[in-house]
A and B are shown apart, each in its own frame.
Chain A
Amino acid sequence: MKDRFRSIIKNAAIASAIIGSVTAFCLILQQFVQAGNFVQLLFVLAVLFVARYTDGYVYGIVASTAAVVCVNYVFTYPYFEINFEIAGYSVTFVAMLIVACSVSALTTRIKKQEQIKLEAEREKMRGNLLRAVSHDIRTPLTSIVGSASGIVDNYDALSPKDRLELVKDIRDEAQWLIRIVENLLSVTRIGEGNARLAMQDELAEEIISGAVEKFKKRFPDISIQVRLPEEVVLVPMDGILIEQVLVNLMENSVIHGKTTTELVIEVKSGGGRVEFSVKDNGQGIRPSALPHIFEGNLEPDSEGEIDSKRNMGIGLSVCMSIVKAHRGDMSAENLAGGGAKVSFWLPGSEEEE
């Protein structure tokens, strides 16, 4: 309801601004040249613009009526009087009406098509995600069911050590599933167009330390260096989601870098943005995958370079959608000395410390 009201106000404002400025323009022009056909032509143009930049037919039709009255009242002799007997009056009116209607029709159709295209794209993204998720979920589930039934069916035949191994596998796979579900939850949190992000000024160091703590629980052996600027960096963000992005990037560096032993997390602030980057000393990103890395549908290629089970697609596409929802962007590159660097930036807060 409120949105609808706002849209009416907005459209009305656009329409009156266009008609108003054309009227003003004509009035000024009239000081210098004899009012002529150009007035009518300009008003037709105005009607066309109104129809183009407003939603639906109503504004265009209202604008054409207003334009006709304006032309009649202000710019045709006798000035400032309505005179219905001017020849061709009705023709002008009908012409403007037709212009308004047909342009409105075209505009509406274009907008609808854009909407459909957007929907289709969103649908495609959702499809990709769903495919990636089903794929990613099936493998750990298979392993969990297999290990669990292995224990149940052969309890006595297995040595305690074997049983422990299987149970540990179950735990690890379940943790992997948790990771996937958390990512999905993050997406649904931003996916609903009306659900606004819980934006708050957060300290970069706090978000990083939160992410590092979570990461350390799963990968205690990786050494992590954090480089922060001296000054206090406050960034408006949904802290939970950005923490998730950092955790994803760190885990990806380890899981897909394969030989990663060290991570460097760096924060740089300047030019109204704050950039976070995660560098690793792993194997780097396959060059052929680099351009599509954030698209969420990375298929394991024939060389099997991407671990067919641990598809990094969801993690990164989730990161991208979170960062985009913050009006930031992401990039990835391979480092000259080996390893990869994935970074994202967020708009900084308006008043700097």
Chain B
Amino acid sequence: MEIRDRILVVEDDKRICNFFRTVLEANNYDVILAQTGAEAHSMITSQCPDVVILDLGLPDMDGLSILKSVREWSSMPVIVVSARTHEKDKVEALDLGADDYITKPFGTSELLARIRTALRHTRMGLNKSGVPTGTFVSGGLVIDYDKHRVFVDGVDAGLTQNEYKIVSLLGKYAGKVMTYDYIIREIWGPNMKNDNRILRVNMANIRRKIERNPAQPQYVFTEVGVGYRIVEPD
């Protein structure tokens, strides 16, 4: 018998729960539902789900506090569900350790893609800590972590040190959105005040070096108001 991945959906609206259950079960996942934060708490600890889909707006507690308590003892993938206008919530959730977010309203293909990515990340991410080694390949883009070089279609893109650091940071968490603040902290250190300008300018330069058309990028994408994300490796 095949082992199915178990997904915990924390969502208070019955109809949306219904939708999650139908779609996920049809796609061969084992689905458990929690409608309150308290229920979610006990299910996370007792049922050990492979992925948690967490709606931030719950009746009894703030979704972020569930995320915080999960992160104290586990790195299980958590996908946060939030509304479009709440950019701050998304950023906060990502900074608190959420693996990904999905914006309401969303389609099923988007949802399934996020779940697959999250699962793949945990499967591969056992040695997540430390500096990545080897190479990252996606289409024409190659990040050589050992040589500290980035190649596009076989040609060295000639990134500066900071530019390389940004690209390799994104590559390390490929497919996942890195928030602006997180990148700034990682590259320039914690004392750098939230200077978005310097990050934007670096990003613009990176794009001019690795993308054919900076306004229609193939490799590095912007999630407006949240952060940056690099394509998944092949």
Interface residues of A (CB under 8 A from B): 174, 178, 182, 185, 189, 198, 200-203, 205-210, 212-213, 224, 226, 228, 232, 234, 239-240, 243, 265, 353
A208 to B225, CA, bound (A): 13
| B200, A234: Cβ atoms closer than 8 Å | yes
CB pair A209–B215 under 8 Å, yes or no, is yes
Chain A to chain B: the 6 pairs with minimum beta-carbon distance, closest first: A226-B215, A206-B222, A232-B204, A210-B224, A239-B224, A205-B215
Chain B residues 175 to 218 lying within 8 A of chain A, measured CB to CB, are 196-197, 200-201, 203-205, 207, 213-217
Residues in B whose Cβ lies below 8 Å from that of A205: 204, 207, 214-215
User: B223 at the A/B interface (Cβ < 8 Å)?
Assistant: yes
The answer to whether the Cβ of B87 comes within 8 Å of any Cβ in the partner chain is yes
Interchain CA distance A232-B87 in the complex, whole Å: 25
Look across to chain B and name the residue whose beta carbon is closest to the beta carbon of A201: B197
Complex-state Cα separation, A207 to B226, whole angstroms: 12
Q: Are the C-beta atoms of A209 and B200 separated by less than 8 Å?
A: no
Contact A182 B197 (CB under 8 A): no
Nearest Cβ on chain A to B232's Cβ, whole angstroms: 16
Tell me whether A203 and B200 are in contact in the complex, defined as CB-CB below 8 angstroms, given that A178-B105, A189-B85 are known contacts: yes
Contacts of A210 in B (CB 8 A): 222-224
| A201 with B196: CB separation less than 8 A | yes
In the assembled complex, the CB of A237 is this many whole angstroms from the nearest CB of chain B, namely 10
Does B128 count as interface, using CB distance less than 8 angstroms? no
Chain A residue, CB-CB nearest to B87: A240
Are A198 and B200 within 8 A (Cβ)?
A: no
Which residues of chain A have C-beta atoms less than 8 A from B201's C-beta? 232, 234, 353
A210 to B226, CA, bound (A): 12
- Bound form: Cα–Cα A208–B216 in Å: 8
A243 to B205, CA, bound (A): 21
Given contacts A185-B84, A185-B85, A240-B225, contact A209 B204 (CB under 8 A): no
Residues of chain B lying within 8 A (CB to CB) of residue A189: 85
Would you give 14 A-B contacts (Cβ < 8 Å), ordered by A? A185-B85, A198-B225, A202-B200, A205-B204, A206-B200, A207-B224, A209-B215, A209-B216, A210-B223, A228-B214, A228-B215, A232-B204, A240-B84, A240-B224
A212 CA to B85 CA, complexed, in Å: 19
Chain B residues lying within 8 Å of A228, measured Cβ to Cβ, are 214-215
Residues of A near B145 (CB, < 8 A) are: none
Give the residues in chain B near A265, CB-CB below 8 Å: 215
Nearest opposing residue in chain B for A171, CB measure: B107
Residues of A within 8 A of B84 (CB): 182, 185, 240
Would you list which residues of chain B between 125 and 163 have a CB under 8 Å from chain A? none
Beyond contacts A201-B197, A205-B204, A210-B223: 14 other A-B pairs, Cβ-Cβ < 8 A, are A182-B84, A185-B84, A200-B196, A201-B196, A201-B200, A203-B204, A203-B222, A209-B217, A224-B216, A228-B215, A232-B205, A240-B87, A243-B224, A265-B215
Q: Which residues of A contact B197 (CB under 8 A)?
A: 201, 234
In the complex, the chain B residue whose C-beta lies closest to that of A207 is B224
Min C-beta distance of A45 to chain B, whole Å: 50
Docked complex Cα distance between A185 and B204 (Å): 30
Which residues from chain A contact B203 at a C-beta distance below 8 Å? 203, 206
Q: In this complex, what residue of B is CB-closest to A216?
A: B216
C-alpha spacing A240/B223, complex, angstroms: 10
Give CA–CA (A240, B224) in the complex, Å: 6
Point out the residues of chain A lying under 8 angstroms from B224, CB to CB: 202, 206-207, 210, 239-240, 243
